[in-house]
Structure 1
Amino acid sequence: MASLGIAVALFCHVLIFSVTGTCGFGDIHHSQLVQLHGLAGILSGAGTAPLSTTGFALDPGASTSVTVPASWSGRLWGRTLCSQDPATGKFACLTGDCGSSALECSGAGATPPATLAEFTLNGAGGLDFYDVSLVDGYNLPMLVVPQGDAASGAGNCTATGCAADLNVGCPQELKVTSAGSEGGVACKSACDAFGDPQYCCSGAYGSPDTCRPSQYSEFFKTACPKSYSYAYDDGTSTFTCASADYEITFCPTPSTSVKAAGGEYAMLAAEVSGSGASSLWTPSLSAVAVGVSATVWQLGQLF
């Protein structure tokens, strides 16, 4: 038992973040601000040891890695349309901002709306639990793809995500706009937009029996059937793997045809996106990194 304990203690996962392209979002135009590419944010779950970093800048073509404990849980997201004030050194992002005014989020989560990847590694039954959530709204497309032999093993181990550009077709009452960018830059959840308990699954609506899908959550679900669209959307939105590797692709290259990317990645984008998507996004085949004995999270083409 002692030797097994040591082996478990020494095992860890590696998160690999890389950027190979841009999202096509507009710039923030202000003479007093230094323009940046996107920033990543990481928040460890309650009772989970904090990581060595909680946020950093990502430039096209760059990559970085973060080591996490074997039983880590938490969420990660992209911060878009970011800038830095040269006078104060403070950072700000139009979407996904964590309010720290710095590269590091330091224990703060994303300000909605933001697309989230959520993980509980080595959870119940030794399985990894993962999902892509739009419960807090949407700011950019995201795919999560299990890698390696575990992808065909125990659990509901399959690709998930939201490969559609929901900022294009977002209902007007949910749309977040910016004077410096064309069209919408994010899409709120109905809970965030209206604060109504029936949309927030709170109060009298705080159970799976009383909180039901709404016309707004159905907008998200139709476009992205494998992503969480509201709080109790567990049945079709939570996935499990037995110690798999993971590739996470944020903001892949836009294409109006899934055939443009070719191969399984094009089919994946079609699989995780419904017919209601106004524009389909497919990941670059060059954004691939598979670890041998570590969980790999790759955020390809983040901004």
Structure 2
Amino acid sequence: MGLFSSFHHSSPFFSTLIVLLLVKGLKEVSGATFTFVNKCEFTVWPGILASAGSPKLESTGFELVQGSSRSFQAPTAWSGRFWGRTNCNLDGSGRIICNTGDCGSGEIECNGAGATPPATLAEFTLGSGSQDFYDVSLVDGYNLPMIIEGTGGSGTCSSTGCITDLNQLCPAELKAEGGGACKSACEAFASPEYCCSGTYNSPATCRPSVYSEMFKSACPRSYSYAYDDATSTFTCNGADYTITFCPSPPSQKSSRDSSPMIPEPTTEQPGSEPETKPGSESELGSLQGATLSNSWLADMAIGGSSMAGKPNLAFQFMSNLIFLVVIYLVLLLE
């Protein structure tokens, strides 16, 4: 009864911790928010394609003018891909045709159709209370610089993508008509060796080509060919994601760490367990802020009060401290 009474009197502790746990639980239920940002010097028309079995998002394609952004909510376990279309205009029959990344729908909405290669792709598989997997792929070629950045999640949550303008480096044999995109070797030559098909349909037989190595050198964290998993797939738990077209130079910092936005590639394997940080400084800071909201405890923290002669407060403080330790351990073990 005394312990219950102690928690009752320290309701700011209890309420704040309950809110933290509820927010964490709601995050696992609600999935992720995807925010698209256009930093290009021109309009981009993003396309969205949900994988089989995943629900359609609020839009399957939209216009994103220079300097603007737009966000969408995706449920847990959602899987799909995003890309940017460029130079979209009406043809003589009133259909929308895009110079790169066109999805063939004839409309701003792609309506379940994917990108026509070459196109830079952002691919996601959201977890359901587990890891999200994401990557930026150049397997279908390249048309726009793009990065993915995660916020609010736990784990490694590294930024990934391609900030290099590969259209300027593209060999003549891979250049798309009009020069607005760079084809993959698979699309350009339709060879099983480049497409990882036929007798080349395994990691042992399909090896990097001179073309995929060129892509990898320019964009070390992006998929350069079909079996380029080890340094190209990334994981995060419970994050929201920003997909930026034509991002700023790599002087930007990752939202999770102080390393360059697109650092050297790692050897993280798909499905591997990342380093988790459930007891992060932000979470601990929230708990500390709630603690100091009690005036008597704030006084104690700055030396304005003494616990001597205040046995009830001493007991209350110890009870709250134990409660905080238990909650911290729960977060740490998740």
| Interval of TM-score (by shorter of Structure 1 and Structure 2) | 0.7 to 0.9
Instruction: Structure 2: state its 5+ residue gaps.
Output: 1-21, 266-334
- Say how many residue pairs are matched: 239
| Structure-2 residue corresponding to 1:222 | 217
Cα distance in 2 for partners of 1:224, 1:264 equals 17
AA at the equivalent of 2:52: A
Residue 269 (structure 1) shift: 4.7
| Structure-2 residue corresponding to 1:122 | 127
Cα distance in 2 for partners of 1:243, 1:70 equals 9
Match of 2:260 among 268, 273, 279: 268
Runs of 4+ in structure 1 over 4 Å off:
6-10
Residue 10 (structure 1) shift: 5.0
| Residues 38 and 68 of structure 1, relative CA distance in 2, 3 Å threshold | same
Match of 1:53 among 50, 59, 71: 59
Match of 1:67 among 66, 73, 88: 73
Deviation sequence 1:17-72 (CA, Å, 0-9, x none):
2335515xxxxxxxxxxxxx321100001111122210011112333222221211
Cα distance in 2 for partners of 1:270, 1:72 equals 25
Match of 2:83 among 74, 77, 80: 77
Percentage of pairs with the same residue: 55
Given that 1:225 and 1:272 are in contact with CA atoms closer than 8 Å, whether structure 2 keeps it comes out as yes
SS in 2 for 1:187: coil
Match of 2:230 among 187, 212, 235: 235
Residue 205 (structure 1) shift: 0.3
SS in 2 for 1:55: coil
| More strand by percentage | 1
| Residues 164 and 8 of structure 1, relative CA distance in 2, 3 Å threshold | closer
Could you state the TM-score of these two structures normalised by the residue count of structure 1?
A: 0.72
Report whether the alignment pairs 1:187 with 2:182.
yes
> What RMSD in Å do the two structures reach over aligned CA positions?
2.5
AA at the equivalent of 1:264: K
Higher relative contact order (CA 8 A, sep 6+): 1
SS in 1 for 2:193: helix
| More helix by percentage | 2
Residue 271 (structure 1) shift: 2.2
| Structure-1 residue corresponding to 2:198 | 203
**Structure of higher CA gyration radius:** 2
Given that 1:55 and 1:105 are in contact with CA atoms closer than 8 Å, whether structure 2 keeps it comes out as yes
| Residues 136 and 21 of structure 1, relative CA distance in 2, 3 Å threshold | closer
| Residues 61 and 157 of structure 1, relative CA distance in 2, 3 Å threshold | closer
